[in-house]
Structure 1
Amino acid sequence: MYLHQLFVLGLLQVLGAHATQFLDRNLAYRSPFAEHPQLSHNTQEIQNRYLTHARRQVTDASFKDDHYPTFYGGEFGNSPFIWSGGINFTHSVASGDPLDTSVLLWTRAVPISPAGTSELPDQSVPICVSYKLFTSANLSGRPIDSGTAFTSYDVDFTVKLEATSLKPDTKYFFQFSDCTNPSLVSPIGTTRTLASPNTPARSVNKGKPLSIAVFSCSQFQAGWFNAYGFAAHNTTADIFVHLGDYIYESLGNGARIGRQVLGRELATIRDYRQRLNQYRTDTSLRALIRCRYLFELRDDHEVADNSWKAGTADSNDTAAGCAFSPSGACFTDRKLAAVRAYHEWMPIRQVDLRDKLRIWRNFQIGKLLDLTMLDTRQYERDITDVYYNTVVNTIAAFNNRSLLGATQEKWLYDTLSKSKARNAVWRIIGQQIIFTQLQLRESFNLDAWDGYRANRARVLDHLYKNKISNTVILAGDSHANWVSDLAHPNDTSYNPATGAGAIGVEFAGTAVTSGSSFGSGILPADADKMSRELVGVNADLQWSEGSFRGFFLLSIDADTLNATYYGMRNISFANLEGFPTAHFVVKNGENKLSRPVAGGTVGAGVLKSSL
C-alpha cells in the first residue's frame, strides 16, 4: 500500500531539509489556533514524531469524543511513509477569501480502503496532495501556481492551501491530485482574484458590473438547497457571500423529503464534522462552491441556537455543570469544537493568528467597494434572548450593551472612515442579523439589532456625523425578505415616501431552506397579510415578503447598485425552478432606495407604496 522505498528515502531527505513545509502548507493544521500551542496542531512536533517513528499519542478532550482522540495535538504515528493506496476527493473543491494576488483553495482527500476489503485504511499515514492552478479552463499550458501538502485524520483529511503570486482581477481554474498517483484527480474548480485596491472603480471586473449572490440559513432537513444551484447555473454571479447558518446543530425530521440528518445535536468535533460532511453532499451546494469563490460568516447555528459570547439557548457554562444541556456538553467545549471544524471545512482566512475567534475582516475590491464582513454572533456579543429569560426586554436599550464588542466596533468605524478616505464608491457590510427596527404588535426581535439599540445608534451616528455615503448593509437570519432605507428609528427627519433623510440601505434576505419566521410553510397570501401590517407600522421598511425561500443578487458598478431577489418554487425535491420576486435600485450618492421603490411593482410580497 506504500511508496517504493527509494521514493520514500528521497521524500524523507526533502522532509528533513524543509522541516514542516508540507504540513504548514495545509492551513487546516495551523488554523484557528496557530498562536495557542496548547490547542493547535504543533506541526514541528508532528514532523519530528513522524520522522522518528514515534507512536500516536492519545489525549482525550474534556468531553467524550471517540472520533477525535488527538483533540489537543496529533501525529502521524510510527509509519515513515505516505499513503499510496488511492484517495477519494469526497467533497469536490472550493475556494474563498480571495485577495488581489492570492486565494484560498480547499478540498478533502480521504484514503481508499484496500481493494476488496472493508478494512479502514491506516489512520496514522499522511495523505500527500498536489494542486495546480491555470488560467485556462482545460488546464493547458504551464501552471500559474502549484504545490504539495499533507493532510491526515487529525484535520478530517481536509486540505486548505493559499495560491499566491497571482494577477489581480483574474479568473483561474484549479485541480488537486494524489501525489503518489497523479491520475487520481479532483473535479476542476473555478476561482478568481480581486481587483487591486487602487484599481479605478470603472475598471474593476474588466469594466463589467460586479455581481454578488447573497445567501443565509440553509437547514438540511428543511429542504433541498435549490437556491445554490439556481445561482450557480442561472445567474452570472461573480461572488457568493454566505451570511451564516451554513449548517444547523439541531436534528429535526427531514425523512419525508429524503433529508434525514445524521448523528445527534452537535456537541463534539466528530458531530460538527459529520454535519458539515453531510451538508456538502447536496448537489446544488457542491455546484456552487466548485464554480465560484466564497466569503463566509458564522451565524449562531454553526455552534448552537442564539449563541452569544458566553453561552447559547441550550448550553451554558455553569457552576452546577452542563449535564442539563440536550447535547450533554458545555458551551465552551461546543464552541471550541465548532470553530475548529468550521476552519477545517471552510475556505476562510484566519485574520489574526492570536485571535482564534475573529472572522471580521475587510476586502478592498478596487475603488469600487469595500466588502466588510462582521461577526454579530460569536465574538463579543452581550447576552441575547435565550427564550427562558426575559432580562433582555429590560436592558435592550442600555448604552453599554454591545453586539460587536468594543474592539470590533472601533474597527468597523475605522474601516468605514478609511473606505471613504480612499474614495471607494460603495461600502457593503455583510453581517448576520436584521439591522433595521422591525416592530409587530409592540414586539421586537431582541436577538437582532433591536436587542442592542444603543449599538445600532452608534453605527448610524458614525455614518451621519462623518457623512459616509453609499453604505449598504446585508442581513440574513430572519428567514424572510426585508428591504429598508437606513435611518434612526422614529426619526422625523426621515421621509418614508421620498427616502429623504436616509443614510443608506439594508437588503435582508430569506433563508435557503429554513422555515419562514412568518410561519413554516406559510402560503404567499397569508404571508402578505403580515407583510402589509409590517410595512405599515415600520417607517423605514419598504418591502416585506415571507413565503418563498431563496436568495438575492447584487449587481454593482460605479453609478448604480441593483438588487434582485429570487424565490424558489419548491424545495421539497432537487430542482432549479425559481423566479425574480422583486428588483431594487440604489444610485450613487442618493443613500436611499430609488423611487418608485422596486419600480412600483413586485412579483411577491408587499411594497409600502402599494398600501
Structure 2
Amino acid sequence: MGIERGMVDPLRVSRKDFVRMGGLGVAAAVLGLEASADRAFADFKFASNPFTLGVASGDPLPDGVVLWTRLAPESGRLPNRRVRVRWKVAADENMRTVVKRGEVFTGPERGFAAHVDVRGLKSDREYYYRFRVGDYVSPVGRTRTTPGFGASPAALAFAFVSCQDYQNGFYAAYGAMARQEQDLDFVVHLGDYIYEYGPSETAVPGREHDGPEIITLADYRKRHALYKRDEDMREAHRMFPFVVTFDDHEVENNYADAIPEEGSETPTMRQFLRRRAAGYKAYYENMPLRPSSMPQGPDMRLYRRLNYGDLAQFSVLDTRQYRTDQPCGDGFVERCAAALSERQTMTGPEQERWLKEGMNRSQARWNVTAQQTMLAEYDFRAGPMESFNMDQWDGYVAARNRFIGFLNKARVRNPITLTGDIHSAWVHDLKTDFADETSKTVGTEFVGTSITSSFPGVFIPVVEAARPDNPHTKFFDGANRGYTRCDLNRERYLTTFKAVPTEPGQGSVVTPEATSTTLAAFVVENGRPGAVQVEGPTTATTSTQGETDRGYGRLTARENW
C-alpha cells in the first residue's frame, strides 16, 4: 500500500531544529528509547491480562495486512525490557487452519506496541488472527485482503469516520457499526482519533479525560490508551481493517506544519516540534500502520495509496504536516489576499505531485481522495457579507483551484472526496467555479459527521441560513453523530449517512448502546458527476434571524468545538 520503505531508525530526524534540541539525549527522552531495549530477554509473566487495548488490523493489500496490538495489563506492571509476542493468522475463526505464524518483540522503546506486516496471504479473502504473550491470548480479530492486481471486483462496501472526542460521549456509532455493518470490507478514519485537551466541565459523566492537556510522549501514550479502552471502539477494530490518517488533535488543535496553535502551551517552534514528535510516535504506536509510516523525529510519511482492484483507488492524504499557516488570522472571517495566494498549500508540493501523478495513472472506476477538512467552498455568512473557515480549503483557494482544475483537465474518472473534521454531514458538488452556479461539476464531496465530537446546536441556524448562497451544497446535518457507509459497484456510488441518538444543544452522545438509523442517502452515477439524493429530508430547517445572529457570534468567537 502506497510507497513503502524499509524499517527506519527512529533516531533519524530531518528537522534541524529538532536536532538542535540537544541531539540523541533529547531524542531518546522524546521517543522513549532506553538502553534496556538491548538486554537479553525471556518470556515475561504478566500478572494480569495484557490485551486490554484489544487488537487491530489495517492497510490491507492483495497479499497482506498489518496486525497490531499494544500490551497494557490491568495491573499497569510492565517490564523494563523486551517482550516476545507470538502471532498467528488462520482461515477460520476457531484458529484451526493456521496459514501464517511468527513472533515479534516489543518493549518500552515502542510503548509495548507490536506491529506485524503479514505477507503471502491470498487476495480478497477473510482471515482471522490473534496474539499470545505467555499464558495470555488476545481476542480473535477478523480482517481481509483486497482483490489482486488486475482484478475487476463487482462491489465494495466500506465506512468512513472521524472526530471522536472521548469527553463528548459514548462510541455508540462504533458499536452500531460492528453489529449492523458486518459486511464492510474496511473502515477509513479521517483523523482526530484522540483529543489533546484536559478535562472539560461539560464532559459526559464517566467520559472525562484523565489528565491535563497532553504534551509529552507519556501523556500521548496514556491518552491513546484511554480511548482504546472503549469497548465499542475495540470491537470495531477487531471486526474490520482500518485505513487511518491524522488531522490536528492527535497533536494540537489547528496546528500547521511546524506552527503551533495561537495560545499554545508549546509556543516556540522548538517546543512544538518536540511535542509533534511525541504525538506522532504515540500515533504510530497505537495504529495498524506499516514501518513505512514510522516517524523520524517530528516527521512522519503518512500519505499513501490503496487500490481495490480496478474498482476503486484511494489516495489517503495528510493535510496537516505540510500545510502553510492558516491565513487572515485563522477562524471564520472574510477572505484577505493571503487566502488567495499561490503560495498557500494544504498538502505541500511533493504530496500534491504524488496525488496528481497517481490519479493520472489510475485505471480505477472510482477515484477516492480521503482527507481532512472541507474541500468545497462554503460562505457561512448569509447575505452580501462573507465569512469563510480559514482552516479549511477556503483558506487555500489557489491550492483547491489547482486540484479541482486538475480533476477537470485530466478527466479523472469519477472523483469522490471523503472529508471529516467539521463534526457534521454535508454533500457538495465540486465546481470549477464556486461563484458560478452554472459552472461545470467535476466531482462530489461527502463530509461525514463525527463519532462523538460536538457540532453545537447554535451553529446549525448559521449554516442553514447561508444555504441559498451556496447552491453547490446539496445536504447538511449538524444535529447527529454517527458514521458514513459507502457501497459502490461498477455503475453507482451510494453514500448513506448513519446516525445514532444525539442529545440536542451540545450534540453529545449520552446513550452507550444504540442502533444506527439512516439519516440520508445519495447516489453518484458512473460518468455523471454530482450526487442525487435518494433517501432522507430534502428541505432545510428554518430559524429566526435572532437564532442565526447568536449562532454566528458563537461561531466567530473561535471556540474549540
CA–CA distance in structure 2, aligned partners of residues 129 and 301 of structure 1: 31
CA–CA distance in structure 1, aligned partners of residues 491 and 14 of structure 2: 49
Could you tell me how far 1:112 is from its partner in structure 2?
7.5
CA–CA distance in structure 1, aligned partners of residues 15 and 336 of structure 2: 40
Which of these two proteins has the greater Rg computed from alpha carbons?
1
Map of 1:107 onto structure 2: 69
CA–CA distance in structure 1, aligned partners of residues 203 and 417 of structure 2: 36
Map of 1:189 onto structure 2: 141
SS in 1 for 2:187: strand
Map of 1:573 onto structure 2: 511
- Aligned 1:419-498 pairs, distance under 5 A: 419=362, 423-441=363-381, 442-490=386-434, 492=436, 494=438
Could you tell me how far 1:32 is from its partner in structure 2?
7.7
Q: Deviations over 1:255-305 (max 9, x none)?
A: 542111112111100010010000011111011001000000100101100
Q: Deviations over 1:520-570 (max 9, x none)?
A: 255xxx83x444323211121111111111121110111110000011113
Map of 1:82 onto structure 2: 43
CA–CA distance in structure 2, aligned partners of residues 37 and 530 of structure 1: 44
Could you tell me how far 1:336 is from its partner in structure 2?
0.4
**Are residues 129 and 429 of structure 1, via their aligned partners in 2, closer, same or farther at CA, if it must alter by over 3 Å?**
same
**Aligned pair 1:98/2:50, yes or no?**
no
Map of 1:144 onto structure 2: 99
Q: Contact 2:159/2:483 (CA < 8 Å) preserved in 1?
A: yes
Map of 2:254 onto structure 1: 306
Which letter maps to 2:193?
A: Y
**Are residues 604 and 563 of structure 1, via their aligned partners in 2, closer, same or farther at CA, if it must alter by over 3 Å?**
farther
CA–CA distance in structure 1, aligned partners of residues 175 and 121 of structure 2: 28
**Are residues 345 and 408 of structure 1, via their aligned partners in 2, closer, same or farther at CA, if it must alter by over 3 Å?**
same
Which letter maps to 1:598?
A: V
CA–CA distance in structure 2, aligned partners of residues 286 and 273 of structure 1: 16
Q: Please, which runs of 5 or more residues in structure 2 have no aligned partner? A: 17-23, 503-508, 543-561
CA–CA distance in structure 1, aligned partners of residues 266 and 392 of structure 2: 29
Q: Contact 1:545/1:606 (CA < 8 Å) preserved in 2?
A: no
| Structure-2-length-normalised TM-score | 0.85
Could you tell me how far 1:245 is from its partner in structure 2?
0.4
**Aligned pair 1:583/2:531, yes or no?**
no
Pick from 303, 307, 321 the counterpart of residue 364 of structure 1.
307
Q: Contact 1:74/1:154 (CA < 8 Å) preserved in 2?
A: no
Q: Report which stretch shifted further, 476-485 or 449-458.
A: 476-485
Could you tell me how far 1:163 is from its partner in structure 2?
1.2
CA–CA distance in structure 2, aligned partners of residues 230 and 34 of structure 1: 41
Could you tell me how far 1:234 is from its partner in structure 2?
1.2
**Are residues 196 and 443 of structure 1, via their aligned partners in 2, closer, same or farther at CA, if it must alter by over 3 Å?**
same
CA–CA distance in structure 1, aligned partners of residues 55 and 295 of structure 2: 28
Q: Contact 1:351/1:361 (CA < 8 Å) preserved in 2?
A: no
Which letter maps to 1:238?
A: D
Map of 1:510 onto structure 2: 449
Q: Contact 2:437/2:472 (CA < 8 Å) preserved in 1?
A: no
CA–CA distance in structure 1, aligned partners of residues 334 and 270 of structure 2: 24
Map of 2:126 onto structure 1: 171
Q: Contact 1:552/1:566 (CA < 8 Å) preserved in 2?
A: yes
CA–CA distance in structure 2, aligned partners of residues 400 and 581 of structure 1: 39
Q: Contact 2:167/2:207 (CA < 8 Å) preserved in 1?
A: yes
Could you tell me how far 1:76 is from its partner in structure 2?
3.2
CA–CA distance in structure 2, aligned partners of residues 72 and 84 of structure 1: 23
Map of 1:598 onto structure 2: 534
- Aligned 1:555-570 pairs, distance under 5 A: 555-570=487-502
CA–CA distance in structure 1, aligned partners of residues 316 and 159 of structure 2: 15
Q: Contact 1:554/1:561 (CA < 8 Å) preserved in 2?
A: yes
CA–CA distance in structure 1, aligned partners of residues 445 and 292 of structure 2: 26
**Aligned pair 1:239/2:186, yes or no?**
yes
**Aligned pair 1:257/2:198, yes or no?**
no
CA–CA distance in structure 1, aligned partners of residues 238 and 26 of structure 2: 34
Could you tell me how far 1:152 is from its partner in structure 2?
1.1
**Aligned pair 1:340/2:278, yes or no?**
no
CA–CA distance in structure 1, aligned partners of residues 9 and 173 of structure 2: 30
Pick from 61, 75, 81 the counterpart of residue 125 of structure 1.
81
CA–CA distance in structure 2, aligned partners of residues 569 and 112 of structure 1: 32
SS in 1 for 2:401: helix
Pick from 117, 136, 141 the counterpart of residue 162 of structure 1.
117
CA–CA distance in structure 2, aligned partners of residues 425 and 502 of structure 1: 18
Could you tell me how far 1:31 is from its partner in structure 2?
6.1
- Aligned 1:525-564 pairs, distance under 5 A: 527=460, 529-564=461-496
Q: Deviations over 1:217-271 (max 9, x none)?
A: 1000011111111111112322111100011111223554211111211110001
Map of 1:61 onto structure 2: 26
Pick from 150, 169, 184 the counterpart of residue 223 of structure 1.
169
**Aligned pair 1:198/2:144, yes or no?**
no
SS in 1 for 2:109: helix
Q: Please, which runs of 5 or more residues in structure 1 have no aligned partner? A: 1-26, 40-58, 317-321, 496-500
Map of 1:43 onto structure 2: none
Q: With CA pairs under 8 Å and 6+ residues apart, which has the higher RCO, 1 or 2?
A: 2
Could you tell me how far 1:69 is from its partner in structure 2?
7.8
Which letter maps to 2:188?
A: V
Map of 1:330 onto structure 2: 271
Map of 1:3 onto structure 2: none
CA–CA distance in structure 2, aligned partners of residues 330 and 568 of structure 1: 40
**Are residues 254 and 291 of structure 1, via their aligned partners in 2, closer, same or farther at CA, if it must alter by over 3 Å?**
farther
Map of 2:360 onto structure 1: 417
Q: Contact 1:531/1:545 (CA < 8 Å) preserved in 2?
A: no
| Structure-1-length-normalised TM-score | 0.78
Map of 1:404 onto structure 2: 347
Paired positions, count: 516
CA–CA distance in structure 2, aligned partners of residues 246 and 514 of structure 1: 10
- Aligned 1:379-390 pairs, distance under 5 A: 380-384=322-326, 387=330
Map of 2:557 onto structure 1: none
Which letter maps to 2:132?
A: S
Q: Contact 1:315/1:330 (CA < 8 Å) preserved in 2?
A: no
Q: Contact 1:263/1:274 (CA < 8 Å) preserved in 2?
A: no
Q: What RMSD, in angstroms, separates the aligned Cα atoms of the two structures?
A: 3.0
Could you tell me how far 1:61 is from its partner in structure 2?
3.4
